[in-house]
Structure 1
Amino acid sequence: MDEHLSNFGETLQRSWPQKAFIDLLYIHPIERMSSGLHPLAYVLQDARAHQIPIVPVTSSDRDADHNAEIMAADQLDHLGASIRITERDFDSLQPIIDSLLGALQMTPEQIDLIVDYGYADPSLLTRTTLFLTGLIDNLPYLQAWRNVILCGTGFPKNLSDVSANTIDQIHRAEWLIWKKIIRTGTVNREPIFGDYGISNPEPFEGDPRFINMSANIRYTADDKFIIFKGLITRKYGSAQYHQLANQVVCHPEYSGRSFSAGDLYIDDVAKMNDGPGNATSWRKAGTNHHLTYVTNELATVSLP
């Protein structure tokens, strides 16, 4: 655990030196640092040392030790906490939320409530929108929460349904759902938008050494993700990213090299001035473009 969390604060400061939420949902509750310190206490302490404000996240499956660390952090940072609710909680929201409020000894005014609906099938947009509209309106203490955040994604767990050597599209279900909820004005409190970038929330399970991954560039555009997919990199190599990058640059929805650092990288690889890169560098470029694109959308979206 020490190795896994080493340099957390330094890395966060370099990548995202702003207020952030931290959720250790993939760290087993029995894990501790070699010093005996709880992992949540360690990352909060490390972030604090680098002057990064962190709001810790809890949920219905966290233990008493986890919540105790959140209480202790609030005594130092006065940043409150965040509660994440997911599908497994939707049937018993009131008792679950009341239990968490009691465990944290906080009021809703100190808490950001994240409604995380995970993967939203783009083919079920209307059904999901209606469900989430009703869910938001029936949240306990709806007007009291510091923030209500709606989070999900239409991005699939993998791109196996996208054929090799093609350019395909996937609806940004999370964006379409949020816009419809906001524009219809039917909810009693407008939620803040949240997504999973250009990824699916399910963690990858498997050994990458034995996965036949195809070269691909994930590019966020108006209401859609555009997928530029090549061939298996193990067999055909990474040089194909030059061609894929050129396809992005030539696409009518390319935002231009000055739009973001990710777009600059795409253009440089297309011109053979950089790259070809690998899966990590392309996820980085795509995520950078996505964050810039969504930030611009949120600044200009028309509300009722």
Structure 2
Amino acid sequence: MILSNSYVPFLKWRQSEFQALFKLEDEIKDFIIPYIILPPIEYDFAERRLKKTIEEHIEPMAKRIYDKWGSRLALLDFHDSLEGKVMDNGESVVEYVHNEALALGCELVPVVSFEKSNWYLVEVKKITSAQKCGIALRVFLEDLDRQTINNEIDYLLEMFDLGISNIDLIIDLGTPDNFEPYALFSHIIFTKINSINNIKDYRSFVIVANSLDLMQIKQPGGVFTRHEWMLYPYLASKFKETPPTFGDYTTDNIEFLPQIDMRKINPSAKLIYTLPQHWHVLKAKAFRGNTAQMINLCSNIISLPDYKGIAFCDGDKRIYDTAKGIENCGNLGTWKQVAINHHMTKVVHQLSSYHASII
């Protein structure tokens, strides 16, 4: 069950993300319900074709979820390129993953939204009818302006033969143009969300947002405000009867960017470290051919007053070990994993302190 003191990180299910989740300490995992998005098939630019068939891409997914997250609760979504695909046995990709995961012992709740195709919704209904797991309804900020939103929710309830007590409501604010002033923005969001009937009767109520736009960050980086975290106490104080669960996009963009030929570009070295109210982002020169620059970036992080130390999480230990020459400089995926692992650990600690302070 998603509680008000839980944390819902949105994760694209690629190696950096699932390894960051896997390497969390158990006491941190106890407070996390990940929102998992199965990624599209990657394109092989050298061969000018997709790297895998749909069967090759999807077949390992259920076991990977179990191997990395076990029987803990997770929310499961699919990239839109996968939603209408069918496995060799004639089973839809959506039903296949849920059935295989259930057989392994996973506890997954399928995600729906108003943007999903009828095909997808029908496949999810098969899952909910058989597994009695309910659904998670992802509502975007622009959806809240629909005059017919309650009618659309009623349509889904009727389709799935569910009451709202079987639905996890996820309000995804995306990346707003401006969060500040927080008091005003929280009031606007509160008013919009209250257009949804019977908020307090949903199984859970999550608000997710993002303010880290990596595409806009230039060398050498800088310090950037975690606006979604700064906004959360304002929202929590407004929904007193049903305090929302906090969610975010961790330290990455949640959208899957257009695939590019990595032979033609050399991305910058980057290290993101989550501070109490900010992100410390270090961006250096091209990574490939100059991986040793990660030693300086890691040394910079461990010299910060807010560096948490090697016992804090796997990510912090890796930063220290690279700075001191104990570990190598890894690859770009290594440092994404490090950033996400530290971020999730940091957020769980912050939420624990926040909720303890308002009891």
TM-score normalised according to structure 2 size: 0.78
Alignment partner, residue 296 of structure 1 = 349
RMSD between aligned alpha carbons? Answer: 1.9
User: Secondary structure of 1:280's partner?
Assistant: helix
- Residue 123 of structure 1 deviates from its aligned partner by 5.6
Alignment partner, residue 228 of structure 2 = 174
Amino acid at match of 2:302: V
- Residue 163 of structure 1 deviates from its aligned partner by 2.3
Alignment partner, residue 65 of structure 2 = 12
- Residue 253 of structure 1 deviates from its aligned partner by 1.1
Contact 2:135–2:168 under 8 Å retained in 1:
yes
Alignment partner, residue 110 of structure 1 = 166
- Residue 26 of structure 1 deviates from its aligned partner by 2.7
* Structure-2 separation of matches of 1:51 and 1:89: 34
- Residue 130 of structure 1 deviates from its aligned partner by 2.5
Note the 1:1-304 alignment, pairs <5 A: 1-17=54-70, 18-92=72-146, 93-121=149-177, 124-126=180-182, 127-158=184-215, 160-164=216-220, 166=221, 168-182=222-236, 184-185=237-238, 188-207=241-260, 209=262, 210-234=264-288, 237-301=290-354, 302-303=357-358
Amino acid at match of 1:261: D
User: Secondary structure of 2:174's partner?
Assistant: strand
Deviations 1:114-157 (A, max 9, x none): 00111134563535322212123332221210001001111114
Amino acid at match of 2:358: L
Contact 2:225–2:277 under 8 Å retained in 1:
yes
User: Secondary structure of 1:143's partner?
Assistant: helix
* Structure-1 separation of matches of 2:108 and 2:335: 27
* Structure-1 separation of matches of 2:284 and 2:176: 26
User: Secondary structure of 2:188's partner?
Assistant: helix
Contact 2:313–2:341 under 8 Å retained in 1:
yes
- Residue 266 of structure 1 deviates from its aligned partner by 0.9
TM-score normalised according to structure 1 size: 0.91
User: Secondary structure of 1:170's partner?
Assistant: strand
Deviations 1:179-198 (A, max 9, x none): 2222x346553111111111
* Structure-2 separation of matches of 1:24 and 1:161: 28
Contact 1:9–1:49 under 8 Å retained in 2:
no
Seen in structure 2, the aligned counterparts of structure 1 residues 88 and 174 have a Cα distance that, compared at 3 Å, is same
User: Secondary structure of 2:257's partner?
Assistant: coil
* Structure-1 separation of matches of 2:271 and 2:104: 33
* Structure-1 separation of matches of 2:349 and 2:73: 19
User: Secondary structure of 1:119's partner?
Assistant: coil
Structure 1 stretches of 4+ with a deviation exceeding 6 A read none
Deviations 1:2-49 (A, max 9, x none): 122121122112322221000114335432122221111011012112
Q: Percent identity?
A: 25
Deviations 1:184-238 (A, max 9, x none): 346553111111111122222241513441111111110111102211224x521
Contact 2:157–2:164 under 8 Å retained in 1:
yes
* Structure-2 separation of matches of 1:256 and 1:134: 42
Does 15-24 or 133-142 show the bigger shift? 133-142
Amino acid at match of 1:189: T
Contact 2:208–2:248 under 8 Å retained in 1:
yes
Seen in structure 2, the aligned counterparts of structure 1 residues 257 and 125 have a Cα distance that, compared at 3 Å, is farther
Amino acid at match of 1:268: D
- How many correspondences in the alignment? 299
Segments of 5+ residues of structure 1 without an aligned counterpart are none
